[in-house]
Amino acid sequence: MKFQGSHILSVSQFDRDAISRILEVSARMAPYAARKKRCHVLDGAILNNLFFEPSTRTRVSFGTAFNLLGGYVRETVGEENSSLSKGESLFDTAQVLSGYSDVIAMRHPKILSVEEFSKGSTVPVINGGDGANEHPTQALLDLFTIESEMAPFGKGLDGLNIVLMGDLKHGRTVHSLSKLLSLYNKLKITLVSPKALQMPDNVISILSNAGHRIEITDELGANLACDVIYQTRIQQERFANKEEADLYRGHFSLNKQVYQQYCKENTVIMHPLPRDSRPEANELDVDLDGMQNLAIFRQAQNGVLVRMALFALTLGVEDKLSEFEQPV
Ligand code: CP
């Protein structure tokens, strides 16, 4: 795949070679993200970060990633602070803002809105989440995390036993991650959710067509003795109201007692975050904090590496990093 100048809208645009390239460039970003070296390869470039839905990790790590490569970041947060609220179209907004930018990252509550926006843009647009549809950069950082967490056990991305758990209907991160996992071989994937929040049929078909062994269940149990558990939040913002979302809270609480009862010694726990820390959410218990196998904060940190890699690739500078490197 040709990255330079391309929009990053969906994981469906990647084949396995493209993923390997992204993960390889991401790994090369580690010394810059760790402040062991500097790299100003994007000196003078401008990222416009447009976030029309709440975000902490995605928005800030896009900005941090761009700054770490020497670029400038401008931000618009909330539709009420943009002229979209006056009826301007996504297409017109893109026509204007791409004239002010070298690259644009965008999150929007409407499915396929980022793709619609990209049609008006003359610079690469990166999807930071479009409604319940996709979150491609999250899935890439999730895959990077799975690969790096499995490496000490001598495992790669093929042949893993992975549990996806929680609100699989509305969770765009598990939709995108499942599509990426369909590129790998001989996986066992267990989908744990309340029946009403099951993974959409089209995503299950993608996993099945890849030849993976799929199990669908609404119970915790022996299936948690796996390589990776990927827990997700009940996506309250996608329900009609809080009361409806409350019906599903606490069904799949992952805590130390559940971990000790069902998981393997080395089962890695992931979560795209934010985790809902309110007591009634009962989702991913803080009693797991401090466990080496809890990868959630390493996972969030990997978001900087992967987003640095995507900027370098879409702006065509991934082979110039060492040229622009300086000691700290
Ligand atoms: N994982 C994730 O997308 O987090 P934010 O909503 O905080 O960006």
Write the residue with the smallest CA distance to atom 5 of ligand 1: 55
* Contact indicator for 26, 97 with CB cutoff of 8 Å: no
State whether CATH 3.40.50.1370 applies to domain 11-134+302-327.
yes
Domain 136-300 coded CATH 3.40.190.10: no
Among 55, 276, 297, 302, name the best residue to mutate to test ligand 1's pocket (greatest count of ligand atoms within 8 A of Cβ).
Answer: 55
Would you say the CB of residue 55 lies under 6 angstroms from ligand 1?
yes
Q: DSSP strand E in the chain: where? A: 37-39, 46-51, 72-77, 103-108, 125-130, 161-165, 188-192, 213-217, 228-231, 268-270, 325-327
Helix (H, G, I), strand (E, B) or coil at 327: strand
Domain ranges of the chain: 11-134+302-327, 136-300
Task: Please enumerate in sequence order all residues whose Cβ is within 8 A of that of 296, keeping only pairs 6 or more positions apart, or say none.
Answer: 269, 270, 271, 273, 275, 284
Could you report the predicted ipTM of this complex, rounded to two decimals? 0.99
CA of 173 to the centre of ligand 1 (A): 9
User: CA angle 142-98-72, nearest 5°?
Assistant: 65
Q: Do domains 11-134+302-327 and 136-300 have the same CATH topology?
A: yes
CA distance 324 to 319: 10
What pLDDT tens digit does each residue of the chain (328 aa) get? 999 999 999 999 999 999 999 999 999 999 999 999 999 999 999 999 999 999 999 999 999 999 999 999 999 999 999 999 999 999 999 999 999 999 999 999 999 999 999 999 999 999 999 998 999 999 999 999 999 999 999 999 999 999 999 999 998 899 999 999 999 999 999 999 999 999 999 999 999 999 999 999 998 888 999 999 999 988 888 898 888 888 888 778 899 999 999 999 999 999 999 998 887 777 899 999 999 999 999 999 999 999 999 999 999 999 999 999 998 8
217: which DSSP letter?
A: E
Regarding the beta carbon of 138 and ligand 1, being less than 6 Å apart is answered yes
Closest CA to 250 of 279, 225, 270: 279
Cα distance between residue 317 and residue 55, in whole Å: 27
Q: Do 106 and 117 contact (CB within 8 A), yes or no?
A: yes
